[in-house]
Copies of this chain bind each other. A is one copy, B any other.
Amino acid sequence: MKSPRQPLKERSGREAQEKTILDAAECVFALHGYRGASLQAIADRAGLPKANVLYYMGNKQALYLKLLSRMMTRWNAVLDDITPQSDPREVLGRFIRTKIELGQRYPEGSRLFAAEILAGAPFLQHYLEGELRAWVESRAAVMKAWSAMGKMDNIDPRYLIFLIWSSTQHYAEYGAQVNAILGCECLSNTEIADISAFLERVILKGCGVE
């Protein structure tokens, strides 16, 4: 209402700038980890001077924490509607598909998270031991109930969760290796669908669902 400048609604608002920086930083942190990433590289990728990055984000650690938190919220909705009465086939299938989709939609965020864990989770230790552990235990309890009801084999559900996490995240985190071996620049939608179907089929059959 007041500023006479910016006539064409150019993407020059504060939020747009912040998103540009966050996306650039996510990419650089994903490639090189917390220590290996430099503010210079982030600024270059964002097309801004280094000082602007610090002006908007405060300092390197705050920027990194903001990215971790953004990634956590993206994952929040997963597997949140699960009860002993649910159909394991439907719930676990959707779990696998959703994880694959999230990895495809946010490959840098997935790799950023992976780098944080590789580094020993210095910034996420409390989250892992608290919130995430509780998340796993509550889901595991429901799966135990499924086993007791004969809906699936009697396996340790925590290992099943690890299996689904690892096998789906692989296609984001190990993208460089997957692409080199499959001989493509990046996965097509068809391949993504094939991979989802493969994982669904093998994992569900493997734990006796259906």
A contacts, CB < 8 Å to B: 30-37, 111, 114-115, 117-121, 125, 128-129, 132-133, 136, 155-156, 158-160, 162-163, 165-167, 169-171, 173-174, 176-178, 180-183, 194-195, 198-199, 201-208
Q: A35-B32, A114-B114, A202-B206 are in contact. Are A128 and B176 (CB under 8 A)?
A: yes
Most buried by B among A166, A171, A208: A166
Question: In the assembly, what is the distance between CA of A36 and CA of B30, in Å?
Answer: 12
Q: Which of B31, B120, B132, B174 contacts A166 (CB 8 A)?
A: B174
Whether the Cβ atoms of A128 and B180 lie closer than 8 Å is: yes
Q: A32-B119, A128-B176, A174-B117 are in contact. Are A201 and B155 (CB under 8 A)?
A: yes
Whether the Cβ atoms of A206 and B195 lie closer than 8 Å is: no
Most buried by B among A163, A204, A208: A163
Whether the Cβ atoms of B178 and A162 lie closer than 8 Å is: yes
Give every chain B residue within 8 A of A206 (Cβ-Cβ). Answer: 201-207
A sample of 5 inter-chain contacts (CB < 8 A) reads: A30-B118, A33-B35, A35-B35, A114-B173, A166-B174
A193 CB to closest chain B CB (Å) equals 12
Most buried by B among A35, A128, A202: A202
A112 CB to closest chain B CB (Å) equals 9
Whether the Cβ atoms of B128 and A118 lie closer than 8 Å is: no
Whether the Cβ atoms of A177 and B115 lie closer than 8 Å is: no
Q: A133-B183, A181-B158 are in contact. Are A121 and B202 (CB under 8 A)?
A: no
Whether the Cβ atoms of B203 and A173 lie closer than 8 Å is: no
Whether the Cβ atoms of B160 and A117 lie closer than 8 Å is: no
Q: A165-B170, A166-B169, A180-B128 are in contact. Are A115 and B118 (CB under 8 A)?
A: yes
What residue in chain B is nearest A128 (Cβ atoms)? B180
Q: A162-B178, A177-B128 are in contact. Are A31 and B155 (CB under 8 A)?
A: no
